[in-house]
């Protein structure tokens, strides 16, 4: 059989098929596992967004549940409620363009009651013309306020992200560590070692749309919990390619073997004449 396949020119295609087929099957299986993971994640996030809000203290405890240094707690998108006072001097603007206009998410430092760590709250979105707080003075709430919203962790740092502009108060990433220093920028490691820092929350809170801010701006409810899930499509694609590879090889092999057998029979008959 091996000699027959070699003579038919099938050893190379067969070897290539044996190499590629496991690769396609592994990729399909990996995407199948990712599909289950993504479905569980979507279900968890949907449950969190719809859940009753927990206390700010509970979220901090969950974040630091292993140790203050490890920060392994799973708090992303937890619904939280906290009461405190806004420090509008510590307002930061994170770039958030929309199809309707250029705009910004307004992050303001909230100082919770009871001396708990300050936390940046994304109070909502404003178009570029209302970026200056003076243009929306009615919305600069004073006195105690209760905020309900979703816990959000900082954006992962990537090489493609635009650099933040602290001096211009223009931020292109959610970075609570950098935000706390404002236009001065973070201190040097030497300066940092000499400072007695007040603890800030290692996350921010996206405020819900209701209750609305006075004067309409900023408009809360900026968080959209929508995770794309194309893994089933990828599963079908990789397994489909594996099946297609098998079918193509079988068809090709049968054709080559038929041609070889036909040629061999012709040569045999010619030799007998």
Q: Confirm whether 71 is domain-assigned.
A: no
Q: Please tell me whether residues 83 and 203 are part of one structural domain.
A: yes
Q: Is the same domain home to 26 and 95?
A: no
The answer as to whether 217 is a domain residue is no
Preceding peptide of 218 cis, ω within 30°: yes
Domain edge (last residue) among 177, 207, 237: 207
Is the same domain home to 11 and 124?
no
Rounded to 5 degrees, what angle do the CA atoms 170, 173, 178 make?
75
CA distance 89 to 178: 16
The pLDDT tens digits for 129-143 are: 988 888 988 888 888
d(CA 211, CA 154): 25
How many domains, the chain?
Answer: 2
List residues bridging with 55 in a β-sheet. 81
Q: Give me the pLDDT at residue 122, please.
A: 93
* 126 and 156 belong to one structural domain: yes
pLDDT at residue 75, rounded to an integer: 81
Domain membership of residue 234 (yes or no) is yes
Which tokens in the block code for residue 137?
Answer: 């003075």
Contact (CB, 8 A) for 119 and 200:
yes
Q: Bigger pLDDT: 253 or 120?
A: 120
Tell me, yes or no, whether 190 and 121 share the same domain. Answer: yes
Residue 61 in domain: no
- 233 falls within a domain: yes
Domain assignment present for residue 212? The answer is no
Mean pLDDT, rounded, for 164-176: 86
Whether residue 95 sits in one domain with residue 163? yes
Answer yes or no: is pLDDT of 121 > 90. yes
Same domain? For 186 and 138 the reply is yes
Residues 178 and 112 reside in one and the same domain: yes
Would you say 201 and 185 are in contact if contact means Cβ atoms under 8 Å apart?
Answer: no
pLDDT surpassing 70 at residue 31? yes
Same domain, 149 and 107: yes
Name the residue with higher pLDDT: 117 or 198.
Answer: 117
pLDDT digits (tens, 9 = 90+) for 214-268: 888 998 888 877 767 788 888 888 889 999 999 888 888 888 777 766 766 555 5
pLDDT of residue 194: 58
The H or E element containing residue 78 is none
Domain around 28: 2-44+229-272
- With cut-offs at 50, 70 and 90, classify the pLDDT of residue 120: very high
What was the pLDDT predicted at 196? 64
In a domain, 58, yes or no: no
Do residues 93 and 6 both lie within one domain? no
In the numeric block, which tokens belong to residue 269?
Answer: 């008959």
CA 226/CA 219 separation, integer angstroms: 19
User: pLDDT, tens digit, for every residue of 188-201?
Assistant: 666 665 556 667 88
- Answer yes or no: do 93 and 37 share one domain: no
- Report angle CA 221, 161, 228 to the nearest 5 degrees: 50
């Amino acid at each position: 059989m091996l000699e027959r396949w070699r003579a038919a020119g099938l050893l190379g295609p067969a070897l290539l098929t044996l190499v590629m087929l496991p690769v396609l099957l592994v990729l399909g299986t990996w995407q199948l596992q990712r599909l289950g993971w993504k479905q569980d994640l979507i279900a968890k996030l949907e449950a969190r967004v719809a859940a009753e809000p927990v206390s700010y203290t509970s979220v901090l405890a969950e974040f630091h549940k292993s140790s203050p240094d490890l920060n392994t707690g799973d708090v992303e998108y937890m619904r939280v409620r906290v009461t405190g006072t806004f420090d509008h001097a510590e307002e930061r603007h994170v770039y958030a363009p929309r199809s309707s206009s250029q705009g910004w998410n307004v992050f303001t430092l909230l100082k919770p009651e009871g001396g708990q760590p300050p936390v940046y709250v994304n109070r909502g979105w404003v178009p570029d013309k209302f970026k200056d707080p003076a243009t929306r003075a009615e919305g600069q709430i004073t006195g105690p306020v209760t905020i309900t919203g979703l816990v959000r962790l900082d954006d992962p740092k990537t090489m493609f992200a635009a650099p933040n502009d602290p001096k211009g108060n223009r931020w292109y990433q959610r970075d609570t560590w950098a935000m706390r220093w404002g236009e001065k920028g973070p201190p040097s490691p030497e300066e940092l070692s000499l400072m007695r820092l007040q603890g800030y929350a290692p996350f921010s809170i996206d405020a819900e749309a209701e209750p609305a801010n006075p004067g309409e701006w900023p408009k809360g409810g900026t968080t959209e919990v929508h995770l794309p899930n194309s893994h089933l499509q990828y599963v079908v694609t990789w397994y489909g390619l594996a099946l297609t590879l098998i079918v193509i090889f079988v068809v090709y092999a049968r054709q080559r073997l038929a041609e070889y057998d036909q040629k061999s029979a012709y040569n045999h008959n010619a030799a007998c004449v």
